Amino acid sequence: MKPFPKIHDLYVARAVLGTVLLTWMVLLGLDVTLALVGEIGDVGKGDYSFGKAIAHEAYTVPRRAYQLFPSSAVVGALRGLGQLSSSS
């Protein structure tokens, strides 16, 4: 038995990982954009500027990415496997 994966295992892994990462980036981008739109309503109150709103959202990106990964993995894996099944 060889310790290396077979070619079809690599093909499935590449398709699934690609769609998982793409889905993760799209969901993260949407989440950060919507959060920034929500923060814009507070810009101008006190000394809260647009730069501080962007900095606040930039600091929360790792937490958001961590929270979004499980759902992105499910959706991305289903999309990747669906693409493979549709192309036979």
Amino acid at 15: A
Amino acid at 23: T
pTM, entire model = 0.84
* Res 69: pLDDT: 96
* Res 51: pLDDT: 92
As a whole number of Å, the end-to-end CA separation of the chain is 27
Secondary structure percentages of the chain, helix, strand, coil, to 5: 80, 0, 20
**pLDDT for 6-45, tens place per residue?**
888 888 889 999 999 999 999 999 999 999 999 998 888 8
* Res 87: pLDDT: 83
* CA gap 77, 79 in Å, rounded: 5
